């Protein structure tokens, strides 16, 4: 690379230092590499599920998930703990899609829960105002696996 080119250069990294850490954090914003989202999502889900099975005595059935169920992450953005639902919201906070476990709710069922306008009124951009167990915003590639995990827990009736 000539001195006139000031572009980004990858430096050689000594990976043996990783052994000295208890955990490694990853950022999924494609800064350095382009992730295969589907494979990353499957891996994240399996890691979370395995941890719950091994350390919190969740049933092994948590890992028994179909490809169709695993694709739920595409649609979910918020876990509404109060109602036990996984939601996809529109720009005006309208509930566009709602799941209880892996079962999609009808428009009528959504209206019964969130009103005729189907607005998720408890959402506040300032998350500190939400109670710790009201809802969870699934905002990263890693978070979306939590939506599927939550759906599994509802399906298995362990939550």
Within-domain flag for 14: no
Each residue's pLDDT, cut to its tens digit, for the chain (159 residues) gives 444 444 444 455 566 666 676 766 655 555 556 667 778 788 888 999 999 999 999 999 999 988 888 877 666 688 999 899 999 998 889 999 999 999 999 999 999 999 999 999 887 766 544 556 788 888 777 777 888 899 999 988 865
Assigned domain for 118 exists: yes
Does a structural domain hold residue 111?
Answer: yes
Q: Label each residue of the chain as H, E or C.
A: CCCCCCCCCCCCCCHHHHHHCCCCCCCCCCCCCCCCHHHHHHHHHHHHHHHHHHHHCCCHHHHCCCHHHHHHHHCCCEEECCCCEEEEECCCCEEEEEEECCEECCHHHHHHHHCCCCECCCCCCCHHHCCCCCEEECCCCCHHHHHHHHHHHHHHCCC
Q: Is residue 61 part of a domain?
A: yes
Domain-located, residue 48:
yes
Structural domain harbouring 45: 35-156
In a domain, 128, yes or no: yes
pLDDT of residue 117: 94
Q: Which residues contact 45 (CB under 8 A, 6 or more apart)?
A: 65, 70, 145, 148, 149
pLDDT at position 138, please? 84
User: Is residue 13 one of the residues assigned to a domain?
Assistant: no
**Residue matched to tokens 């399996």:** 46
pTM above 0.85, yes or no: no
- Count of domains observed in the chain: 1
């Amino acid at each position: 690379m000539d001195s006139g080119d000031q572009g980004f250069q990858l430096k050689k990294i000594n990976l043996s230092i990783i052994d000295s850490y208890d955990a490694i954090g990853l950022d999924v914003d494609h800064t350095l590499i382009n992730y295969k989202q589907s494979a990353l999502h499957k891996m994240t889900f399996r890691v979370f599920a395995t941890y719950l099975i091994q350390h919190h005595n969740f049933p092994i059935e948590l890992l028994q998930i179909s490809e169709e169920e695993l694709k739920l992450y595409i649609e979910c953005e918020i876990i509404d703990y109060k109602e036990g639902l996984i939601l996809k919201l529109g720009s005006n906070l309208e509930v566009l899609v709602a799941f209880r476990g892996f079962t999609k709710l009808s428009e009528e069922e959504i209206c019964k829960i969130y009103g005729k306008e189907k607005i998720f009124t408890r959402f506040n951009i300032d998350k500190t105002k939400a109670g710790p167990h009201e809802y969870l915003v699934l905002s990263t590639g890693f978070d979306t696996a939590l939506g599927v995990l939550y759906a599994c827990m509802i399906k298995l009736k362990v939550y």
